[in-house]
Amino acid sequence: MNLKQSDKMIAIIGVVILIIVAISIVYYVSTEEEVGEPTKEKKTFKVAWNEKNGEMKITDINIGKESYTTPFTVLTESGSVLETVDVQIVWKDDNTYGILREYGQDKLTATISLAGGETKTHEATGEGDETLSFKMNTVSYRDDVIEADDIDEAKKEIKDKYQGFNSALFDVDVSVETGERFKFIRPLRSFLNNRKDKGETFSFFITYTYSYPEIIEDQGNNYDGDNTTGQGESKGKATYKNMGLPGKN
């Protein structure tokens, strides 16, 4: 069928109109999507680290011929970072003999081992008062910067980031060697041996430091790091170095 020239023109114009309508619909839908769902802008939060202290006690432990062994755990607030642990051992031999000269002094040896880390030993005769220090995680007091929708999301992010940095497990082993060596006639030696030194008493005093994060929303001003530690100006990202916590590399 042959179309007249006018019919051909009408057909072409119709096709052009359909193409224009299709393009307009696509553009309109795309514009609606962009306007209808604007991207939510995240907020900026900074983290200041406040230093805190804690203490524990293991007191008046009696030890005889058998060694004393026990574990203990230092645990701080969830989300915090344990930095140092100091273990002070205190003891004094309470059973010696002699008039002009003291005899029979005990020798006590205490070994403190950080799980996955270093081991330190106290050894003394007669009495002892020594502090064994352990470095855990060191913090430079520079701030983390977090992008989050709100402060709750920022707190969760920083808590997850430093999960497990707030505890340390130690093993304790203590032994004593009594100093009495009686060399008398049999009846007197038997009498003295029944009353001789049976062991020793000692105590542990444990102190530790840790840092706890404070989340602050950045309002566009430079943060000067003014927190309870008095650390002064601090900028940048917090960096940690693990010194032996179990499960940390």
Residues 8 and 118 placed together within one structural domain of the fold:
no
Q: Which is nearest to 158 in space by CA: 65, 78, 51?
A: 78
* Together in a domain, 100 and 153: yes
* C-alpha 56, offset from chain centre: 17
Residue 29: inside a domain, yes or no?
A: yes
Chain segment 107-135, per-residue pLDDT in tens: 999 999 999 999 999 999 989 999 999 99
In what helix (H) or strand (E) does residue 28 lie, and over which residues does it extend? helix 5-36
Contact 76, 166 (CB under 8 A): yes
Q: Do both 96 and 22 map to the same domain?
A: no
- Measured CA to CA, the distance from residue 109 to residue 178 in angstroms comes to 12
Domain range spanning residue 178? 43-242
* Domain shared by 48 and 64, yes or no: yes
| Confidence band for 48, pLDDT divided at 50, 70 and 90 | confident
* Any domain includes 249: no
Do 81 and 131 fall within a single domain?
yes
Which residue carries 């002699």 as its tokens? 98
* Look-up of token digits 């804690």: 54
- Say whether both 55 and 21 belong to one domain: no
What pLDDT digit, counting tens, does each position of 55-109 carry? 999 999 998 888 999 999 999 998 899 999 999 999 998 775 556 555 678 899 9
The H-assigned helical ranges of the chain are 5-36, 151-161, 186-193
Same domain for 227 and 210, yes or no, is: yes
* Tally of domains in the chain: 2
- With H, G, I as helix, E, B as strand and everything else as coil, classify residue 31: helix
Six-digit token string for 126: 């007669």
Which pLDDT band, with edges at 50, 70 and 90, does 173 fall under? very high
Answer whether residue 248 is part of any domain.
Answer: no
In this structure, are residues 158 and 111 in contact, taking their beta carbons and an 8 Å threshold?
A: no
